[in-house]
Amino acid sequence: MRRLALLVLVIVPLAAAAAPAGARTACTPGTKTVNGATERTFCGAAKATVHAGSKTFSFSGGQCTKAPAYVTVNIGTVVLGMTSKPKPDYFGLDVGKLPGGGGTPASHDGTNTSVVLAIDSGGKGYVVTGARVTLKGNRTRGTFTGTMLGGPGGTVTGSFSC
């Protein structure tokens, strides 16, 4: 036990010294329960911008997943389930044939209409229908268009990058 305590006393200060002064983790990925609802936070280099009517929504610090048949972009924190509190900001985009789902695979750059797009901003959730995504750069970036129901409504355009 005494050896373990000594080891901890040596390793912890070394780890703290290795971090740059003033450095903080801006994002902590993972899942947690808040007021009975599960929330999942995504972190990474992904960014997205959405234009709807006169509004512009910007998201950064998210995660991209490229699989053989689909591309998924998650930025921010998604609430899985019902909550009575305002939702945190979140951008979610699925393009292609997801596991267990239908749709056209998004195995290469090009335009795909097998799309699910969800946006939460300012405590409000927005649904986008009829979305169409054009993947570029070996599926690491792209543009999209669709129709937003509720909120500013009308045509939605935007872009994302991983």
Query: Under a CB-based contact definition with an 8 Å cutoff, are residues 114 and 95 in contact?
Result: yes
Cβ-contact 46, 73 below 8 angstroms: yes
pTM: 0.81
Confidence category of residue 25, pLDDT binned at 50, 70, 90: low
Structure tokens at 92: 């979610």
The DSSP line for 88-118 is PPEEEEEEE--TT--S----SSEEE--EEEE
Strand partners, 90: 76, 120
User: For 53-86, what is each residue's pLDDT tens digit?
Assistant: 889 999 999 999 999 999 999 999 999 888 888 8
Rg of the chain over Cα atoms, rounded to whole angstroms, equals 19
